[in-house]
Every structure is written in C-alpha cells, then in structure tokens.
Chains A and B, each alone.
Chain A
C-alpha cells in the first residue's frame, strides 16, 4: 500500500514536472524572438536600393514592399513598426548575413528556391510577391521580344536567380549574349544607362522603378513583354528557430487575410471593438489567443494592420503611382491572383 502510494506520488511529481516543463517550453521565447525583444529592434536585411521593394528616400527613410514586411514584423513583435534597423545588403552578402545572425530576417527580393531552403540552412515564409525575369532595352535598338536580343550585352546582378535564368533562356533559344555582372546596384544600372549594356535584366517588377527614376528620359526605354521565369519572393529566416519562422509566416498571412476580410489600417480600431465576424475578432485579438500561441501579445495582428496596413494597402502604397504596376498574380486568390491567406484559428 505504502509502496503504491509512493509510486503514485512519484508519478504525480514526474507528471507535474513534465507538465510544467512543457508549459515552460511553450511560453519561453525562441532565440531570435528573445534577442529581438531584448534589443528592442528587428534587424532586417533589405535591398540597397530597388524602387517598390526597398529604397531610402532623401530623408533617409526606408520605403518599399520588402520594408513594409520588416515593419509588420516589428509591429507584431514589439508593438511599434518603427523599431526596425535596416541593413542594406548586396545580392552576394545577403545569405551569409542571415546565416551568421547579422540580421533577424531577410526581406530582400529573394527568390525561394530548393537549394536556398535546404543547403543554405534557411526557411522562407509565404511569398510576399510573385514576379519573374524581365528585360528592359532602349527603344532605339528596336527589340520587341527576347529573340531580338541575339549578341546583346546584358547587365545582371551576380549570384541572382536572374543570372542563371538568362543563361538557360538564351541557351534554349540558341542565342548568344555577353553578361556584364556588377554587384552594386548603382554601378549596374549606371552601366546600362550609359550604354555599356543593351539590356538590363532583373526581376521584372524591379524594372519600372529604374525606368522612371534612373533614366534621363523614361520614354527612351521599354520593358519587353513577358515574364521569363518563376520568382516567388519571400522573407527568409535561419532554419532551426521554428517559433520565429512561424511569426514570419503568420504575419504575412495576417496581411493577406486582413485584405480579404476588409480590415484596413483605417478601420482596424473600429472593427476590433465592433466587428461581429469571428474571423476578424480572432485576427484583431478581440477573441481567442492566437497571439499567445506565437509567443506574442494578443494585439499582434492588430498592430500590424493598424500601423502597416493589409496586403492591398502595402501593394498600393509601393506599386501605385508613379510606378503603376498592375497587380496581376499578386492579387488575392478571390480576385484571380495567388495571394491566399491560410486560416487563422
């Protein structure tokens, strides 16, 4: 009898210990989240300067779609979308910077590929933008399609997926070309504008900005129709910190869902108090405990939407006038696009 009591007690203690340790494990912050909270700042790797994605204006304030996702994560984690330190990275430095911990997240027009996901030791959130390799040429050369570019000098970033895409595209079409490969964005675009290259090639969404703002006369240049590869751009994080990866994933889905459910930065406060839609209530933290499950405050998504906006707002802010890039596949799935927010429950 006493023996069984002892056994029972031991089991109970063991159970209690394992339960407490389990709940501790749930509540305890992962290494990245912990570091971000202690620092009070998200270190975000961005492009050195690409219109629409990440560019510093003349007051040194960063703007762009990639930048807005840095801000969204800061809003979700720290409650303030301005608590971001932007670290501009070249295409070659970006992965070592993330791997070594120099940045917490890489929001830098980065295409999700199998090799990057596996061999580089990274994880990628849901694509925040879909684009593909595009070509800009001077109108004077009279090219209207890729086949007209035989023998052309092509300016391209090193270490980019574009560099490989054009190699296979031109090889498949049996066209000759000469790559001119420069890492610095200014130098590369400068080389094209000065006539060193016939063609500027990068993700097609990057081209309108260079046409509008870097060309002496934008009308002298034309972007060839067609997209020549699949470039889903996503936010990258280090593999091995699942909690931080989850935060990136669900902050992104929150922006998609908010647009689908009609939650905007303007009406978020109102909806938080008055909405009767259970989805909206959960999203904005009026009901449920979605925030706690991620290790965040329950108003995480409310902060994201009220401070940064839903995906549609982010898109329009960065790709509206003067760039006027058609939303195309970047529209919501309900409008025939690819942006599909996962259920948040």
Chain B
C-alpha cells in the first residue's frame, strides 16, 4: 500500500462522500428547523382558536383612538394602528440614531482620556467608565427621568440663554422656521464634506510624492462651513427664529425635547459610552508601544503618529465590538416604555392591549428590531472591511 492510496476516497459508497454527506446534513437540519417552526406556528394558531381570540392583521388599518405625546410625523387619534406603530418606529429610530452618535463621541473622548497622561482626565474617565457600566441601564434611564422631574415648573423654568428653557417638561429652544432655501444649504453642506474629503486626498497624494506636509485643518474647516454659508448668503440669508413661548400650561413653538426623550437618550448614551470608552482604550493599548516610539524616532510629530500609526491599527480592534454596542443601544431604547417615551414597544403594548392582537403586535415589534439590527450590522460590517488590515 502506497501513501497515495490512503488519500483516495473510498470507492463504491456514496455515504463516504464528504460533499454528499454535508448536503444530507444540511437538508436534515433544514427539515428539522422547518418542522419546529411549523409546530410552533400551528400550536399558536390552534390555541388562539381554542381560546376564541381573533387573529389577523386587519387591525392595522382600523382607527387607533389614542393619542401619542410626541411624533416626528403628523398623527392623531383618528389615524390607524399601522400609523401609530410607524410613529413608534420613528421615535425608536430617532432616539437610537442620536444615541449612537453621542455615545460614540463621548465614548471615544473618554477612551482617549483614559490613556492620557493627564491625571485629572484619566481619573474622571475611570470614574465615568466604572459608574457607567456597573449600573444597570434600567437604573440609568429611571435616574435621569427622576432628575428631570425634579426640575422647576414651566413658569419658573431655568433660562440657560435667551429663548431657551429647562424645566420638568423638558427642554425648549428657538429653532429656525423652515425656508425654501434650506434644502440648498443642505446641498452646500454635502458639497463642503466632499470638498474636505477631496482636500485630504490631494494633501496626502502631494505628501507621498514630495514629502511636504500640508496643514489641512483650517482650510478643511473653511470649506466645510464655507460652502453652506455661501449658499445661505446667496439666498439672502433667510432666518426667522421660532421662539418658544409659554401659552397656557406649556411652551409652544421652537424645538421641544420631552423629558422622557432626554432621560432615555442620556441614560442609554452614558451607559453605552462607558463600554465604548473601554473598547477604545483597549484598541489604543493594543498597538505596541514600540511602534509609537519608532514613529517618534523617525521624526513624526505627535498628531501624525496618532493619526497614521495608532488609530488605523486600533480601529481594527475597536470596530467589531463597537458594532455590538450599537446593537445593544438600539435594543435598550425599548426601556423608554418604563418612563413613558412613546417608542415602538410603548405603542406596540398599547396596540396589543387595545386590540388584543398579542401575537401580531409582538411579531411586528420583533421584526422591526430585527430589521434595524440587521441594517446596523450590515453598515458596521461594511465599515469594518474598510478599516480592516489590507493584505498587499
């Protein structure tokens, strides 16, 4: 028997064929999963039927009959349950989107501060991280809800600056009245961002060609703010402030942030930021100090080392766990139900109760969270591919 004989697949029996076997296993698994799914589904339907509970989706098109405290789209009690759930979905997206942005900014700042040589900064950051991540997120949310309820009444509201008010009904401030010029200003901003990207590419190309370092910070900021500013001025600088005023019980007009929204946003932001801070710290510390010293030895300056040596390598460590933090933040936003923020779960619960369609309402909630999570995952995977190490 030669060695090559042993590696020959055994002839005759198809069951020893690896390809065939893996197909069989996968078919068995699929059939098994399908059966479990079908058994669950038919069990639910049978039991609902036995208990005389109506099923179906028609409730989505019937009038809800309840009001919702805050909404980014028009809504009143005459609208359908479907639209009420859409309002809840948008409220969830609103708080999760802002939460992700603020948690990232705060988390990166605290993570960098943690490894800073400045004693005060690193101590503050340590306290922030330890308090933030060791207190359950539910308590964070309830804590901020309680803090806001202790603020003064609308009539005695605190005034941080002209036209803005802080009180137990939340935060209100002046907001520009919509003008037809604003979409163009937005376009100017996009042009500005593109300009900054282009400027950096150009500066990098020039540096690699000539070795000459070009400061891009001030020109970059100039382009970033300049483009929309020029567009705005070209339209004759339209600006009318909608200033909030106390009418009856509450402030009307301006930008209004409800106490529930603020409490939920601050609660989940602080909680998640403390985790992101630790992720950022571990990412920075994962870069061997020898590299920083070597970069210094060849004469690179401090900011340069951070930007071109440390951060690209740290991001590889930082991005994947941060993606899961974004996912948990989104799911934690469902805690709004505790303090009365009208998010998807809050509206879903009310719908469930008013219509009795428990299975349907919970299915909708689960599918929506699944959808949001998949979108975040896809985006973060895409970003991870960009920052991942590229084998050349």
Contacts and interface: CB of A to CB of B under 8 A. Distances in A.
A binds B: yes
Interface stretch (A80-88, A191-199, A250-258): A191-199
A168 to B, nearest CB: 7
A167 B150 CA distance: 28
B77 A167 contact: yes
B249 A153 contact: yes
15 contacts: A91-B353, A92-B352, A119-B356, A120-B53, A152-B249, A152-B250, A153-B250, A163-B350, A167-B66, A167-B77, A183-B338, A187-B339, A194-B168, A238-B51, A240-B52
Contact of A119 (B53, B145, B153): B53
Interface residues of A, number: 45
A197 to B, nearest CB: 9
Contacts of B290: none
Given A163-B66, A167-B67, A153 B169 contact: yes
B51 A121 contact: yes
Given A190-B149, A195-B168, A180 B69 contact: yes
A180 B340 contact: yes
B350 A120 contact: no
A274 to B, nearest CB: 46
A337 interface: no
Contacts of B354: 115, 159, 163-164
Interface in A110-157: 115-116, 118-121, 141, 150-153
B259 interface: yes
Nearest to B349: A92
B53 A121 contact: yes
B77 A171 contact: yes
Nearest to B248: A151
A180 B68 CA distance: 8
B247 interface: yes
Given A168-B65, A181-B342, A184-B338, A120 B149 contact: no
B239 interface: no
Nearest to A116: B356
4 A-B pairs with the lowest CB-CB distances in the bound complex, closest first:
A159-B353, A121-B52, A167-B77, A182-B340
Interface string B334-350: 00011110100010011
Interface string A156-175: 00111001101110110000
A141 B68 contact: no
Contact of A198 (B77, B249, B358): B249
A152 B350 CA distance: 21
Contacts of B337: 183
Given A152-B248, A196-B168, A187 B51 contact: no
B349 A183 contact: yes
Contact of A191 (B77, B340, B353): B340
A240 B50 CA distance: 8
A196 B259 contact: yes
A195 B350 contact: no
A194 B149 contact: yes
Nearest to A178: B69
Given A95-B356, A195-B153, A179 B53 contact: no
B384 interface: no
A191 B54 contact: no
Given A95-B353, A181-B340, 17 more contacts: A92-B352, A115-B355, A151-B247, A151-B248, A151-B252, A152-B250, A158-B349, A168-B65, A177-B67, A178-B250, A179-B66, A179-B67, A182-B339, A183-B349, A187-B339, A194-B149, A195-B168
Nearest to A171: B77
Contact of A168 (B77, B168, B250, B342): B77
B76 interface: yes
A229 interface: no
Contacts of A91: 353
Contacts of A196: 149, 168-169, 259
A239 interface: yes
B278 interface: no
Nearest to B154: A195
Contacts of B259: 196
Given A167-B77, A182-B339, A196-B169, A240 B51 contact: yes
- Indicate the member of B65, B76, B352, B356 with the most A CB atoms within 10 Å: B356
A191 B263 CA distance: 13
A181 B248 contact: no
Contacts of A195: 149, 153, 168
A96 B350 contact: no
A187 B69 CA distance: 17
A184 B356 CA distance: 20
A150 B337 CA distance: 26
A170 B65 CA distance: 12
A99 interface: yes
A187 B340 contact: yes
B150 A194 contact: yes
